[in-house]
Amino acid sequence: MDPMTSRGGRRPQPTDTGSIPTPALWSERADMAESAIISRHLRALWGCPGTELGVVGWPATRRERLFGSWHYWWQAHLLDCAIDAANRVPTPARRRRIAAIARSHRMRNITGWTNRYYDDMAWLAIALERAERTQELSAARGGLLALEQQLYSAWNPGVGGGIPWRVRSDFYNAPANGPAGIALLRLGQVERAQQMADWLHDTLRDPQTGLVLDGIHLPSGEIERPTFTYCQGVVLGLEAELAVHTDDDRHIDRAVDLVDAVEDHMTHRLVISGGGGGDGGLFNGILARYLAVVALMLPGEGKRPEAARRIAAAIVKTSATAAWSNRLDVEGEPLFGYDWSKPARLPGGSAGAGKFTAGGSVTASVVPERDLSVQLSGWMLMEAAYQVSAAGL
């Protein structure tokens, strides 16, 4: 563990970055990332025993401390990260935390497990499915049934397929269809997951860059052309897992092509490019998570699949090394930067605390490092680096 030197931020000493990156070292770094989230962000929901949820900023505003702002999909990724830690080193405390976060999510959502945003629901479905499958969280079953029904029935053949971003929206995008496809595939809906993968490839893959575009308005056909790291991540994960489940080479080929496009357009010297704060704080971590899935799961014995697995692992480990080298130590625990290639900055307060835009997304704090999303990405990245390192990649 790095020693505590003051209550402020400390730039890591050179000796911090010279250690051999073994699985044990990545596991220790993931432990430290988890510890930082627990100490800075996790609180009981409204003082209720047996609950834990993530305060969305540090330092927090009063509204954030009271969970007036809580951001459904950020908490789904908090749950997913907690599952990563429990799968890596199972402990009773980690299992209790998973149950507490899931319970608190349901409580804070007030109206049940579901909401109006299909991307939100997809992320929670992924986390609850993993909690049930790997941690035997039986309480997840009711939530999964409700979420699966929503995601499956949202498919709209009347406009050529796809599911919308939210209820009654005309915007059909990768951030909804990618994670929904992963969730439905893991829940046994292989045919629908394959339909989603085909729709994403046929509708949103940019022929010039090979990247996945944000989304399309239907039935008008107007495409929103921004490319985000997390859009690439969810499509990579979906294609890799479909390649395993279906033994269909088209999914291998798509995943390989997309890894190449990510390396060319979304990394610099194999470090994933910065994604900002607010909702964008999660984008890089999601790409790292699913690059690890490609590295660990993508089948195929030819040169191209082998190269894709190697490149995916290298991006994860290089990004994790950069993020760790550029972290701040605050009271002995890491604070990650929103851009892993640049030194992290210490938030001086709650200035610019994330707010909802008219479109429903959450803006970044003035110093993005205060956002729970940014710190979850750092934790997610450390867990991904451990996974690929433990596999000898």
pLDDT digits (tens), the chain, 393 positions: 332 223 345 545 433 444 578 999 999 999 999 999 999 999 999 999 999 999 999 999 999 999 999 999 999 999 999 999 999 999 999 999 999 999 999 999 998 999 999 999 999 999 999 999 999 998 888 999 999 999 999 999 999 999 999 999 999 999 999 999 999 999 999 999 999 999 999 999 999 999 999 999 999 999 999 999 999 999 999 999 999 999 899 999 999 999 999 999 999 999 999 889 999 999 999 999 999 999 999 999 999 999 999 999 999 999 999 999 999 999 999 999 999 999 999 998 777 777 777 677 888 999 999 999 999 999 999 999 999 999 999
| Model pLDDT, residue 10 | 55
Tell me whether residue 139 is in a domain.
Answer: yes
Structural domain includes residue 6: no
Domain annotation covers residue 312: yes
Task: Evaluate whether residue 202 is within a structural domain.
Answer: yes
Residue with token string 């607010």: 278
299 located within any domain:
yes
Rg (the chain; Cα; Å): 20
Q: How many structural domains is the chain composed of?
A: 1
200 HSE (CA, 13 A, CB side) = 35
pTM: 0.94
For position 247, what pLDDT does the model report? 84
- The answer as to whether 181 is a domain residue is yes
Which residue in this structure is represented by tokens 């009773």? 92
- Domain CATH number, residue 145: 1.50.10.20
The per-residue pLDDT for 19 is 58
361: left (phi over 0), alpha (psi -120 to 50) or beta: beta
Any domain includes 355: no
What whole-number distance in Å separates Cα of residue 356 and Cα of residue 358?
7
Beta carbons of 361 and 281 less than 8 angstroms apart: no
For residue 336, give Cα distances in angstroms to 304, 311, 343.
Answer: 33, 23, 8
Residue 17 forms part of a structural domain = no
- Give the range of the structural domain holding residue 299, as residue numbers without chain letter: 23-340+360-391
φ and ψ at residue 315, rounded to 5 degrees:
-65, -45
